[in-house]
Structure 1
Amino acid sequence: MREALIVWGGWHGHEPEQCAGIVAGMLQHEGFRVHLENSTRAFASPRFSTMSLVVPIFTMSKIEKEEVANLSQAVREGVGLAGFHGGMGDAFRDTVEYQFMCGGQWVAHPGNIIDYRVNITRTDDPVMEGIRDFDYRSEQYYMHVDPSNEVLATTTFSGDHALWIEGVVMPVVWKRRHGQGRVFYSSLGHVAKEFEVPEMRMILKRGMVWAARI
């Protein structure tokens, strides 16, 4: 049986504990044995390298040098990494090794909670199969992203809340490699209630399964 580690904590506004419980249930439904931890010390454990998948849900906060080094090495050696919104894309802001692995970092969400459109760019990818463009209400993440990402969905900024970014097309969902490990990210999922959106939930579930080491 494949094992997954969910490490949650950080800023409470993203409801990390509630989201961790939801993600745990999703992975258990897919046949994973799930372990939940609420400290970054879990990343430094030697046992961590035997996992199939790690899901960080840890907005902002700090991570120790040995913890991120162990995490990066484990992913390079094949452990999958998958996550969503600020829990992965706005974690450990001062740790560039972590950002290099994830393929991006949050920098703004102009207008805060707004309505926007998610456009599917890779309908041929199994993660996005059967999913069409959809409307979404949440924070529209503006991110600094790695050009090597394989982008699966995007959003376009209207300029209503920051005129100078009008028309900017921003990745929303991507996957990538970090060494031998698969990395998946979706910027959707500000709070636990957003898991009620079928497209958001399906994209994350498929992305986590894709990223997990077999």
Structure 2
Amino acid sequence: MTRKALVVRGGWEGHHPVEATELFLPFLHENGFDVRIEDGPQVYADPETMNATDLVLQSVTMSEITAEALKGLRAAVEAGTGLAGWHGGIADSYRASSDYLQLVGGQFATHPSKDPEHVHGGETDNYLEYTVELTDLGRRHEITQDIDDFTLTTEQYWVLHDDLIDVLATTTHPVQPYHPWHRPITSPAVWTREWGAGRVFVTTAGHSLDVLQDPNVRTIIERGMLWAARAR
């Protein structure tokens, strides 16, 4: 039976929601998904569409969501629809909605910058080299098994989160003399969440197209989408 994937994209253009999601459409087709694309979350308010959807791939940074659309998304996930995404497209969506944050389980707080002496006013001011470290669970989980710790140079997300997520990988923000915190802070970099009969998958890597095409990041996203999708 053909499964249905709903790709919802939009919000801040700096995360290239169209180009980024296009990278994964061939994978979804190759894995038997019939794909529908929507330029915004209002489709979540359509119960007929959501009831038939096995996977939502969302790339909507910031933006807003109506109460009806959010209610529809939460109901769909609770009933078994999977929700997956990366970076700000899922972890920095709909900042004004606490119910959305509860559904996803983690929220972008910041991405620390370089030393002020090396800040020049562009997006690379926030590009740091950091390591994504697999947890014990991550080393045996189907999404991240056989992947070793790896290094990226991109935005390093600081995430506020709760204890209902299952963390597959982390990243640690070090103490620097030009930052105000006093000890290293470890944030989830890849996590899953079970919500009712549904599954949620998030990775914080994915600011730019080159990061999405990193072999480790791409593999994690592809496996994460399959893990989250409802089994038919």
Give TM class, smaller chain.
over 0.9
Structure 2 CA distance for aligned equivalents of residues 183 and 165 of structure 1:
32
Of the candidates 111, 114, 131, which is equivalent to residue 128 of structure 2?
A: 114
Between structure 1 and structure 2, the one with the greater Rg is 2
Structure 2 CA distance for aligned equivalents of residues 64 and 130 of structure 1:
40
Q: What residue number does 2:21 align with? A: 20
Q: What residue number does 1:50 align with? A: 52
What is the Cα-based RMSD across aligned positions, in Å? 1.1
Structure 1 CA distance for aligned equivalents of residues 101 and 144 of structure 2:
24
Among all aligned residue pairs of Structure 1 and Structure 2, give the percentage whose two residues are the same amino acid.
38
The answer to whether the aligner puts 1:134 opposite 2:136 as a matched pair is no
Letter in 2 for 1:82: A
Structure 1 CA distance for aligned equivalents of residues 213 and 182 of structure 2:
30
Structure 2 CA distance for aligned equivalents of residues 28 and 78 of structure 1:
21
CA drift at 1:196: 1.9
TM-score (norm 2): 0.89
Q: What residue number does 1:66 align with? A: 68
Structure 1 CA distance for aligned equivalents of residues 76 and 143 of structure 2:
24
Of the candidates 194, 201, 204, which is equivalent to residue 184 of structure 1?
A: 201
Name stretches of at least 5 consecutive residues in structure 1 with no aligned partner: none
CA drift at 1:163: 4.3
- Structure 1 stretch displaced more, 153-162 or 75-84: 153-162
8 Å Cα contact 2:84-2:225 kept in structure 1: yes
TM-score (norm 1): 0.97
The answer to whether the aligner puts 1:100 opposite 2:114 as a matched pair is no
Letter in 1 for 2:130: Y
CA drift at 1:29: 2.3
Q: What residue number does 1:123 align with? A: 139
- Structure 1 stretch displaced more, 95-104 or 40-49: 40-49
CA drift at 1:101: 0.5
Count of residues in Structure 1 that have an aligned counterpart in Structure 2: 214
Letter in 2 for 1:70: G
Name stretches of at least 5 consecutive residues in structure 2 with no aligned partner: 114-125
Structure 2 CA distance for aligned equivalents of residues 30 and 21 of structure 1:
15
Letter in 2 for 1:168: I
CA drift at 1:23: 2.2
The answer to whether the aligner puts 1:205 opposite 2:229 as a matched pair is no
CA drift at 1:143: 0.9
